[in-house]
Structure 1
Amino acid sequence: MAKRSRKKQSLSFDERLQRAADEAREAARKLPIGRERDALLKKAKQTETAARINLWLTSAGLQSPK
C-alpha cells in the first residue's frame, strides 16, 4: 500500500478557504466576461459558502446530539 505524504499546514482551514476564494475572484477580475470568468466566480462563492459552513460546524454553540 502506498504511503500518504503528510504535510503540516501553516494556515488554518478557514484561512486556506478564504485565500482560495480571494485568488479565484482576483483571477476572474482579469478575465473578460464569459464562461471561464463565471466559473471562477462560482468557485469563489462555493468556497466562501464552505468557509461559512465550517465556521458554523466548529462554533461553540453547536452541540452534539444526546
Structure 2
Amino acid sequence: MSKRRRFKQTQSLEVRLAAKAEHLREKAKEAPSGTERETLLCKARQFEEGLHMSEWLRTPGLQ
C-alpha cells in the first residue's frame, strides 16, 4: 500500500486561484487567436469563479 503524499500549502486558496487565473490570462495574451486562446481564457474564468465562490462561502453571513 502506497502512502499519500501530503503538502502543506503556504498560500491561501484565494491567492493560489488568483495567481493561476492571472498566469492563464498572461499566457492567453501571448497565444495566437483561436481555440487555444479561448481555452486559456475559459480556464482563467473558471479559476476566477472559484475565487469568487470561495470568497462568498467565507462571508460571515453564511457561517
**Alignment-derived partner of residue 52 in structure 2:** 52
Q: Which runs of 4+ in 1 moved over 2 A?
A: none
Amino acid at match of 1:53: M
Deviation readout 1:28-61 (Å, 9 max, x if unpaired): 0001100000000000001000100111111111
Structure 1: runs of 5 or more not aligned:
none
Between Structure 1 and Structure 2, the one with more helix by share is 2
Q: Distance in 1 between matches of 2:15 and 2:38?
A: 23
**Alignment-derived partner of residue 4 in structure 1:** 4
Structure 2: runs of 5 or more not aligned:
none
Normalising by the residue count of structure 2, what TM-score does the alignment of the two structures yield?
A: 0.93
CA shift, 1:2, in A, is: 2.0
Give the number of aligned pairs. Answer: 63
The percentage of aligned residue pairs carrying the same residue is 44
- Alignment RMSD (CA, Å): 0.9
